[in-house]
Structure 1
Amino acid sequence: MDILRSLTIGLHLEQPITWLHRLDPRIKLFWLLSFLLSPTLSNPLWRVAMAISLIALTLTAGIPARVWKQQMGLLMLLAVMTFVIAIFSPDGLNVTHQPRRPIPEPVVSQVSFPNQAANAPTTYRYVLFKAGNIQITRQSLNLGTRISTLIFTFLYAPTLYLLVTAPEEITAAITSIAMPLKWLRVPIVEITLTLTLALRFLPLVLEEVQNLFRAVRTRAIDWKKLGLKRTTQIWLILAERLIANLFTRAEQSASAMQVRGFTTPNQHLVRWNPLKLMGWDWLVGILLCVFWGLRLWIGGEW
């Protein structure tokens, strides 16, 4: 089991370079925020369209299937299972309430109105499907669509962004966007540098977990004969070893930065990659404005 190859969370795909890689990281960051914010207070069709758009972006970008196939499959399976459970669950609107006091009989008026259309037939149905005790209502269908699409969008959109954007580009984009806060004495450089180190440290964490897993697997431990107490002790030892290894990796990274003359951002100039909007970036930015225009026009709640 290779965790670094099976999990793409927080990892950057260096090759092949797709058209998503070439976009400005600031534009991609705004698109990521749009994918995360636009489903709020939107109708079900818009949420479904967001999930389909993420799948279409992955396919059109030419990202190898080995990178996204497993994770997208697991997320889609989770979303489908959540959708099925939600639509067949009671929506809470069919609960009957028995009043404590008798209801007075309504007074029937003797005046009739020939043009009255109060009892006109309508095609509206609240219960969409019913078979015995199983039924699907409009409320349960809306709830299932909302939960399943939000799970897929909120988990896959950040993963796709990290996949096609290098950590240094993310840091440079956040620094460029948040630079006006520097006038308010907000430590922008320190915050973005910490974010870069955190993104770079995540693959090291996965590597340490993978090494411990392989070490346990090679020893062929029979977990059934150990019992609960000894199994818990072994897992505590592994957790302690993992934390110790991570502290060692962090100390090595700090020593490497000190050797290269880095002490604090105030004394060491942090140079990020220069960002410049190209023609393709302006086009994608215009599409972002069109995106929000469609969201305000047709994406609101019904």
Structure 2
Amino acid sequence: MDLLRSLPIGLYLEKPTTWLHHIDPRVKLFWLLSFLFAPVLATLEWRIGLVLILVALTISARIPWRVWKQQMGWLLAIGFFAFIITAITPDGLGIDYQQRLPASGLELPQPTSYQYVVYKAGKVLVTRRSLDLAIRLSTILFILIYSSSLFLLTTAPEEITAALEYFMQPLKRFKVPVTEIILTLTLSLRFIPLVLEEIQNLARSINTRAIEWKKLGLRKSLSVWLIVADRLLENLLARAEQIAVAMDVRGFTSPNRHRVQWHILRFRAVDWLAIAVLVGFWSARLLWGGVE
């Protein structure tokens, strides 16, 4: 199994290029923060609306189904199980449900159709409060994880670091090494695929040896995995040393002296449109999103 392609989250989609790819990373970063903070103290209707907005963005961007299935399939499963578990667990109010009918069994007409218990079958009890908590938990899980995943899916690592460097420029007045921090972050993001590649190579080498784990026992199996972990660490340190030597040979003695501009930031018409929609988004949030 190719870990570089089967990993369900955090991968950058190079092809096909969608309209989300063309938006400036600074604008997309503000949109990401908006999706992260908008569900706070929001109503249930607003949270469900955010879920629908994320799904609509994915469909309108025409992201391939294979990518959408990897990104959203396991997340929907987690959200569904979180919804079910939270809905059937006790709501924490500790209410003793008493019979409200007269002792004679005469049924009186109720003023409204309101019922605190939504569903009851044996020991399975779903109340309005537990259902409310289930919707809150499942939607917040989906919004926080999938919005971040969609941001990483349509934004290259170099664009992310360029946007962060732009916003961190005022810190240079306080002698914060912004350029060094951004260069380290860029190298870290580029190093992640190398880590996955080394793990994949070691996993394949173990599979080709057809080790019978049941015969080894727990202690010998643990020793084998310790050897594998040691080999992984050794390979990663060797890769890091090769990168350091390559940078040193090419004159990367300091970030300011030999600097490569990975991505040029500039606003386009689609970016101004995204900013206008963002202003409308927060206006709707403050007017109709509610504060609970």
TM-score (structure 1 length as normaliser): 0.87
The structural deviation recorded for 1:272 is: 4.0
Q: Does 1:199 align with 2:205?
A: no
Aligned to 2:77: 77
Aligned to 1:41: 41
Aligned to 1:149: 139
**Counterpart residue type for residue 160 of structure 1:** L
| Paired residues for 1:232-251 under 5 Å | 232-251=222-241
The structural deviation recorded for 1:288 is: 0.6
Aligned to 1:209: 199
| Structure 1 residues 7-65: Cα deviation after superposition (integer angstroms, max 9, x where no partner) | 14332221111101111111111111111111111122222222222222122111222
The structural deviation recorded for 1:270 is: 4.3
The structural deviation recorded for 1:245 is: 1.2
The structural deviation recorded for 1:133 is: 2.3
- Measure the CA separation in 2 of the matches of 1:140 and 1:125: 13
SS at match of 2:168: helix
Larger Rg: 1
The structural deviation recorded for 1:2 is: 1.2
| Structure 1 residues 173-229: Cα deviation after superposition (integer angstroms, max 9, x where no partner) | 111122122222222111211111111111111111111111111111111221111
Aligned to 2:150: 160
**Partner residue of 2:250 out of 256, 260, 263:** 260
TM-score (structure 2 length as normaliser): 0.90
Aligned to 1:100: none
Aligned to 1:91: 91
- Measure the CA separation in 2 of the matches of 1:126 and 1:187: 58
Q: Does 1:137 align with 2:132?
A: no
Is the deviation greater in 77-86 or in 4-13?
Answer: 4-13
- Measure the CA separation in 1 of the matches of 2:235 and 2:193: 13
Residues 46, 289 of structure 2: 8 Å contact kept: yes
| Structure 1 residues 239-282: Cα deviation after superposition (integer angstroms, max 9, x where no partner) | 11111111111111111111110012243334242211111110
Is the deviation greater in 136-145 or in 266-275?
Answer: 266-275
**Counterpart residue type for residue 10 of structure 1:** G
- Measure the CA separation in 1 of the matches of 2:67 and 2:246: 31
Unmatched 5+ stretches in structure 2: 97-109
Aligned to 1:10: 10
Identical aligned residues as a percent: 56
SS at match of 2:114: coil
Distance 1:252 1:91, change over 3 A: same
The structural deviation recorded for 1:95 is: 4.8
- Measure the CA separation in 1 of the matches of 2:283 and 2:116: 31
The structural deviation recorded for 1:139 is: 1.4
Between the two proteins, the alignment pairs up a number of residues equal to 281
Aligned to 1:279: 269
Aligned to 1:103: none
- Measure the CA separation in 1 of the matches of 2:28 and 2:275: 9
Is the deviation greater in 221-230 or in 126-135?
Answer: 126-135
SS at match of 1:287: helix
**Partner residue of 1:127 out of 99, 117, 139:** 117
Q: Does 1:228 align with 2:227?
A: no
The structural deviation recorded for 1:167 is: 1.1
**Partner residue of 1:190 out of 163, 176, 180:** 180
Structure 1 runs, 4 residues or longer, greater than 3 Å off: none
Distance 1:245 1:185, change over 3 A: same
- Measure the CA separation in 1 of the matches of 2:19 and 2:275: 15
SS at match of 2:237: helix
The structural deviation recorded for 1:93 is: 0.8
Aligned to 1:61: 61
Residues 71, 149 of structure 2: 8 Å contact kept: no
**Partner residue of 1:180 out of 170, 177, 193:** 170
**Counterpart residue type for residue 199 of structure 2:** V
- Measure the CA separation in 1 of the matches of 2:283 and 2:191: 39
Residues 8, 159 of structure 1: 8 Å contact kept: no
| Structure 1 residues 103-134: Cα deviation after superposition (integer angstroms, max 9, x where no partner) | xxxxxxxxxxxxxxxxx934433222222322
